[in-house]
């Protein structure tokens, strides 16, 4: 059964390395603040998974046996390090939540977060000191878990706020990315209770519970991967299209005598607008639109929209 935990944690770490690599590439290409925060959150999360992996690996494979449970110092140290990694992970996820919704982090957040983080850090230090002197302080453990519970409650509230704000203006791609971010990270709160309810109803065996626990670790890394590949791509595609259109039009304006009105029509054509749509946007007649398009085609030496797109995309324009 212990080997299931080791294998499950190892799979989660491999996936985590892949996600971290992808996030690193994205934040290098597109230096958005929330990408950097999600990257740091994922690093801290995988640091926690790595700690769980090594703790179980050493417990199973090292001779003589090093039992963390029976060694007060090792137990207190591992719990303290896990708590600190959870603090770092929580901090960057909340930071990303504000950044992705284009909100500045309020002073109240700093106060609440700082007081919670300091409480967890101080409690963890007390645990380590108690472990050095082989003292088991049960009340300190309870206090630490209470602080961690409050920290996660606060994180959950922030994600709910981000979700509701995004839903109110869901039309734009940026808001859809925001909603997906909040919804995916909220979803991880429901997995342990669902497994607990199933276990209560049908009494799952230890192996099944263990597998579910490792699947949960894998899911923690799937969240940023799903968000990155399925939702964040909308923003990058949208911004890349706009950038490429702007660059192409600048090249045309530098080389050819394109009037202001023709530039407006050229942009709309490259955005895929029809003649009818252009007339409504610019409040001009269809005949005027056709005349301007004819003029653009004559200046560029082409005779169709297809040729225009091909012409614009040519690097040696």
Mean predicted confidence (pLDDT) in 236-252? 69
CATH code where residue 302 lies: 1.10.10.10
pLDDT at 229: 87
- Residue 182: pLDDT above 90? yes
Return the SS3 of 285: coil
- Domain match, 131 and 232 both: yes
253-257, Cβ contacts within 8 angstroms, sequence gap of 24 or more: 255/317, 256/299, 256/300, 257/299
Domain end residue (candidates: 209, 240, 271): 240
Confidence band of 193 (pLDDT split at 50, 70, 90)? confident
- Residue 138: pLDDT above 80? no
Distance CA(257)–CA(74), nearest Å, equals 75
- Domain match, 169 and 283 both: no
Distance CA(310)–CA(298), nearest Å, equals 15
Dihedral over alpha carbons 63, 65, 66, 71 (to 10 degrees)? -150
Distance CA(226)–CA(221), nearest Å, equals 9
- Domain match, 194 and 264 both: no
pLDDT digits over 51-97, tens only? 888 877 777 776 555 555 556 677 777 788 888 888 889 989 999 99
Distance CA(128)–CA(257), nearest Å, equals 74
- Domain match, 200 and 122 both: yes
pLDDT digits over 268-310, tens only? 888 788 999 999 999 999 999 999 999 999 999 898 888 887 8
- Domain match, 136 and 284 both: no
In this predicted model, which residue has the larger pLDDT, 113 or 13? 13
- Domain match, 234 and 277 both: no
- Domain match, 46 and 152 both: yes
| pTM of the predicted model as reported, rounded to 2 decimal places | 0.70
Is 246 inside any structural domain? no
CATH code where residue 41 lies: 1.20.1070.10
Beta strands in 139-290 (DSSP E): none
pLDDT digits over 210-226, tens only? 677 788 889 999 999 99
pLDDT at 122: 84
- Domain match, 36 and 105 both: yes
How many angstroms separate the most distant Cα atoms in the chain? 90
Mean predicted confidence (pLDDT) in 242-258? 77
Domain end residue (candidates: 212, 240, 268): 240
pLDDT at 307: 87
- Domain match, 271 and 204 both: no
- Domain match, 270 and 204 both: no
Is 85 inside any structural domain? yes
- Domain match, 165 and 208 both: yes
Please, are residues 48 and 85 in contact by the beta-carbon 8 Å criterion? Answer: yes
Domain end residue (candidates: 210, 240, 270): 240
Residue span of the structural domain in which 266 resides? 256-312
């Amino acid at each position: 059964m212990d080997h299931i935990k080791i294998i499950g944690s190892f799979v989660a770490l491999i996936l985590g390395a892949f996600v971290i690599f992808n996030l690193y590439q994205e934040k290098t290409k597109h230096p958005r603040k929330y990408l950097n925060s999600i990257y740091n959150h994922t690093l801290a999360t995988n640091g926690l998974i790595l700690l769980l992996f090594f703790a179980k690996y050493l417990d199973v494979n090292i001779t003589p046996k090093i039992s963390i449970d029976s060694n007060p110092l090792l137990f207190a140290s591992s719990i303290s390090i896990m708590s600190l990694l959870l603090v770092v992970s929580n901090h960057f996820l909340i930071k990303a939540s504000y950044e992705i919704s284009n909100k500045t982090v309020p002073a109240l957040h700093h106060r609440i977060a700082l007081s919670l983080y300091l409480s967890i850090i101080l409690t963890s230090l007390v645990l380590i000191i108690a472990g050095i002197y082989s003292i088991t302080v049960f009340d300190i453990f309870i206090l630490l878990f209470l602080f961690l519970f409050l920290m996660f409650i606060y994180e959950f509230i922030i994600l709910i706020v981000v979700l509701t704000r995004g839903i109110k203006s869901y039309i734009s791609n940026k808001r859809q990315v925001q909603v997906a971010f909040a919804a995916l990270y909220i979803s991880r709160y429901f997995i342990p209770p669902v497994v607990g309810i199933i276990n209560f109803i049908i009494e799952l065996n230890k192996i099944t519970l263990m597998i579910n626990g490792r699947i949960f670790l894998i899911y923690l890394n799937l969240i940023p991967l799903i968000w990155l590949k399925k939702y964040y791509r909308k923003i990058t595609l949208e911004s890349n299209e706009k950038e490429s259109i702007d660059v192409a039009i600048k090249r045309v304006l530098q080389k050819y005598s394109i009037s202001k009105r023709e530039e407006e029509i050229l942009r709309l054509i490259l955005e895929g607008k029809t003649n009818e749509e252009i007339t409504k946007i610019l409040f001009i007649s269809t005949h005027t639109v056709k005349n301007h398009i004819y003029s653009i085609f004559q200046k560029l030496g082409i005779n169709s929209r297809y040729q225009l797109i091909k012409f614009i995309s040519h690097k040696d324009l």
